[in-house]
Structure 1
Amino acid sequence: MAEWNDADLEKIAAAEELDLASERDNGTLRDPVTMWVVRSGDSLYVHSVKGTDGPWYRGTRSRRQGRVEAGGVRRDVTFRPADPGEYAGVDAAYREKYGRHTSIVEHVLTEAARVSTLRLEPR
């Protein structure tokens, strides 16, 4: 597993939103989708409010890689499903970073959304 360098990790984690473009089977990138991103420990995470049925999430499953851009950083990444043991830290990070959006945060922290949690690993 590749690791983020400290500068990129901090810049992406501080960004309000992240643009994520997954790769199609032919290697081209889909149109980017804007979403929230959080840091837990030394990892970055996203998840789908629509859970595993969300269109952008389904797009990440074909090649499990793509590109993200946030905080002035653009990186090619691998999408790894988070382990259930990571969910509590990710939930806490969402509450801390986006807690001012109370009604939205509660939709992001459902069990359906939780099981779609992806760890973003640089490639």
Structure 2
Amino acid sequence: MEVGMVVVAGELYVRAYRGVGSRWYRAARKHGHGTIRVGTVRHDVLLTTDGLERRAGLDAAFRTKYGSVAEALVASPEARAATIRIDPAAAPAP
């Protein structure tokens, strides 16, 4: 597993065990937005990277979802530092 994704209190979070040096984390930090595709549906999103590594309930959610494999995402300071929250972007004005 390179990336883990969980929902905590209705918010979507992603972590990579490779840490802040991963390409997707650097891009998220630089741009602050992106697009998620699910099948043929696209969603514009905002990507928040600051101050998330110690979010209450986040480590527990990774452990619950991924079991023993989650340790790469919760025990590593590098992975914790590479936490991203993904939020829907505001719809464009008509």
Note the C-alpha offset of 1:70: 4.6
Using the TM superposition, give the Cα deviation of residue 119 of structure 1 relative to its aligned residue in structure 2, in angstroms: 0.6
Distance 2:3 2:87 in 1: 17
Q: Which amino acid aligns with 1:120?
A: I
Equivalent positions of 1:13-52 (< 5 A) are 35-52=3-20
What CA distance in whole angstroms lies between the structure 1 residues aligned with 2:58 and 2:43? 21
> How far has the Cα of 1:89 moved from its partner?
1.1
**1:58: how far off?**
0.9
Q: Mind listing any 5+ residue stretches in structure 1 that lack a counterpart?
A: 1-33
Counterparts of residues 6-85 of structure 1 (less than 5 Å): 35-70=3-38, 74-81=42-49, 82-85=51-54
From the superposition, tell whether residues 60 and 97 of structure 1 become closer, same or farther in structure 2 (CA, over 3 Å).
same
Instruction: Give the aligned partner of residue 82 of structure 2.
Output: 116
2:70 to 105, 108, 112: 105
Count of aligned residue pairs for this structure pair: 86
* Segments of 4+ moved more than 2 angstroms: 69-74, 82-85
Contact 2:20–2:79 under 8 Å retained in 1:
yes
Q: In the TM superposition, what whole-angstrom CA distance separates every residue of 1:72-106 from its partner, at most 9, and x where no partner exists?
A: 864211111243441x411111111111xx2x311
Query: Residue type matched to 2:71 in 1?
Result: E
Kindly indicate whether the alpha-carbon contact (under 8 Å) linking 2:37 and 2:43 is maintained by their aligned counterparts in 1.
Answer: yes
CA distance in 2 between counterparts of 1:73 and 1:65 reads: 17
The residue type equivalent to 1:113 in the other structure is A
- Judged with a 3 Å threshold, the aligned counterparts in structure 2 of structure 1 residues 47 and 63 are, in CA distance, closer, same or farther, namely same
Alpha-carbon distance, 1:117 to partner: 0.6
TM-score, normalising length: structure 2: 0.76
**Structure in which a larger fraction of residues adopt strand:** 2
Q: Which has the higher contact order (CA 8 A, sep 6+)?
A: 2
